[in-house]
Structure 1
Amino acid sequence: MGKEGVHVRIKDQTEIQNIMDAFASYGHTDIDTSRVYSEGTSEETLRDLGVPTRFKVSTKIFPVQAGDHRPERLRETVQESLKALGVSKVPILYLHAPDTATPFEETMLGVQALYNEGLFDEFGLSNFATHQVVEIYMLAKQRGWVVPTVYEGMYNALSRTAELDLFPALERFNIRFYAFSPLVGGLLDPSLSMTTQVPKGSQFDPDTPVGQMYRARYWNKKYFDALGEIHKAVANHNMTAYEAAMRWIVHHSKLNAARGDGIIIGGSSYKEITGNLENTVKGPLPNEVVDVFEKAWEEVAGKCGPYYL
């Protein structure tokens, strides 16, 4: 979501408002954004539509350049986000990815200063490897600083590497996990194949950085062979692979609802997002569909990328 003139899927303010109304109708209260989304206009659009007055809007700080997580630069970017959102604080402030040019101790000094000033309530991490999560948590704990309590990572029926070492670490430190890309980045579209010419600007456009990233992760024979079996199984039960994937992550994944784990719902239109919301409230999958997801994961596990971008 964002403003005209930048690369965004949803620009119409009426459509965005309708999406927010639908989201609220399901009882949901938390909105996720980032300073870099839609070239910064995602936060501004949410502000202009009054979203922060209706929902808890959290944001993330991505290290666009080396050194962006140094205390002074971190402060500047957080202040830009708060201004863009029209708020004095956010519920959760995330580091969107590691800034490898800045030692974690230096970054955490900046994070703690912002926390002391009351600019956020909870501290989160996204796209950090397990050993980095442990390092940051232990450093913060030893220094008496704010510790991370939320982690955003990639997790879905065909991308489960987070289960191996990240989930045990989060369990140990009582850190919630919020899953992004629950629908395998759009790969579940039955019209897709290895030879498909995708539309310009779409998720798998090979000429864009995002498209190149998702192609490197999913665009291979192992995944498409597995998808063929999934499409056959879901057709037997009159559902789409998108519906099945959403029901899988709600009912059959290793997310821990008792700890507060959650799913980040997205989409490129009102129709997509409302459809995804509807699928979250449907029941568990038939055994045949659960089994085909398990077999598919066994087939693609060796080709699967990490849970961070």
Structure 2
Amino acid sequence: MQYTRLGRAGARVSRLALGTMNFGPVIDEEASRAILDRAVEAGIDFIDTADVYGGGRWGDHPGQSEEILGRWMKDRGTRDDLIVATKVFGVMGPRSNDRGLSAVHIRASVDASLRRLGTDRIDLYQMHHIDREVPLDETLSAFATLREQGKITYLGSSNFAGWHLARVQEIAAASGYPAPVTEQSLYNLTERTVELEVVPAAEQYGMGLLPWSPLASGQLGGVLQKTDRSRSSLDALGDRRPAIERYEAFCAELGIRPGVVAIAWLLHQPAVTAPVIGPRTIDQLDSAVEALDVTLDAETLAELDRIWPGPGGTAPEAYAW
């Protein structure tokens, strides 16, 4: 396993983060524990979850992913070996303050997550989305209190625009509040919009980028090669199918599985700390780990750019002079 700094923070983490969004609603607790065991055996020490996983669009049991992770850590006695990340923002109940990034919700949510995880601190506490209705200084003040109390160690953001990252960093610097050390964004070969402004902002402020959906919901994982795919799932590829056909053919020339190439490409991007992988099987986990041993040369990276062109660079040069 390879390790790197958590953005500009002093802590070191594995270059792959194990995402637990599927724990509970998609795979049962036994399978989830098996994946956690295999991940630790492979050297992964960075585990990512969220308070809402298991509820809302993820199922009918919010907090389920944290609970499964918490029980596993207790049984294995491995808490101190891990960097545990979770998130706050989503709807966790029927009351008006059971959501968002108000000080009220943050303070209630961190205690609930700590109980579900069975731990006394969260290593990386992430704002799951920008809250346009709450002043950022209120949000950052609440996080500062949590850090003073020892309930969190580092702060992170997720799904922020580039200007959101700049604003939160500048407010934190001016006020003495803790600033986010990471940004978790949708980023993969098929979705490269973040290269316009999010990636440059993260690099400017020393934030580590944590790409979620590195395989584009499976579309970069060899979807055309899998015989068990239904016609409807293939039809859902739409206009993207010709590029996927080129991509899978190119991966075949390289002799590397498409899913491995997709994660390896992210690991070659300078702002990326750790792609957040969400395996549903041991084989998918092992495939992701293989990417750590893959080196993509300049010619290969150029061909991937031709198959999956990005936005043309960073803003404003991507669309202006």
Scaled by the length of structure 2, the TM-score of the pair is 0.76
User: 2:83·2:123 contact (CA, 8 Å) conserved in 1?
Assistant: yes
Residue of structure 2 aligned with 1:47, choices 59, 67, 70: 70
Residue 282 of structure 1 pairs with residue 282 of structure 2: no
Give, in whole Å, the separation in 2 of the partners of 1:171 and 1:3. 30
- Indicate the percent of aligned positions where both proteins have the same amino acid: 24
1:22 is matched by which residue type in structure 2?
Answer: R
Taking the TM superposition and a 5 Å limit, the aligned residue runs for 1:227-242 are 227-242=244-259
Taking the TM superposition and a 5 Å limit, the aligned residue runs for 1:46-195 are 46-50=69-73, 52-64=79-91, 68-188=100-220, 189-190=223-224
**What do residues 249-282 of structure 1 show as CA deviations (whole Å, max 9, x unaligned)?**
223x3435xxxx2221221122211221123323
Structure 2 counterpart SS, 1:18: helix
Map of 1:292 onto structure 2: 303
User: 1:34·1:59 contact (CA, 8 Å) conserved in 2?
Assistant: yes
State the shift of 1:285 in Å. Answer: 5.8
User: 2:49·2:85 contact (CA, 8 Å) conserved in 1?
Assistant: yes
User: 2:211·2:276 contact (CA, 8 Å) conserved in 1?
Assistant: yes
State the shift of 1:75 in Å. Answer: 0.7
5+ long unaligned stretches in structure 2: 1-19, 55-61, 313-321
5+ long unaligned stretches in structure 1: 205-214, 303-309
Greater per-residue helix proportion: 1
Scaled by the length of structure 1, the TM-score of the pair is 0.79
Residue 29 of structure 1 pairs with residue 49 of structure 2: no
**Aligned Cα RMSD in Å?**
2.8
CA gap of 1:30–1:264, structure 2 versus 1, over 3 A, is same
Map of 2:10 onto structure 1: none
Give, in whole Å, the separation in 2 of the partners of 1:43 and 1:229. 39
Give, in whole Å, the separation in 2 of the partners of 1:297 and 1:45. 37
Map of 1:211 onto structure 2: none
What is the number of equivalent residue pairs in this alignment?
A: 273
**What do residues 74-132 of structure 1 show as CA deviations (whole Å, max 9, x unaligned)?**
11111100110011111111100012222222222222221221111111000011111
User: 1:9·1:269 contact (CA, 8 Å) conserved in 2?
Assistant: no
User: 1:2·1:41 contact (CA, 8 Å) conserved in 2?
Assistant: no
State the shift of 1:41 in Å. Answer: 0.6
CA gap of 1:70–1:12, structure 2 versus 1, over 3 A, is closer
Give, in whole Å, the separation in 1 of the partners of 2:160 and 2:209. 12
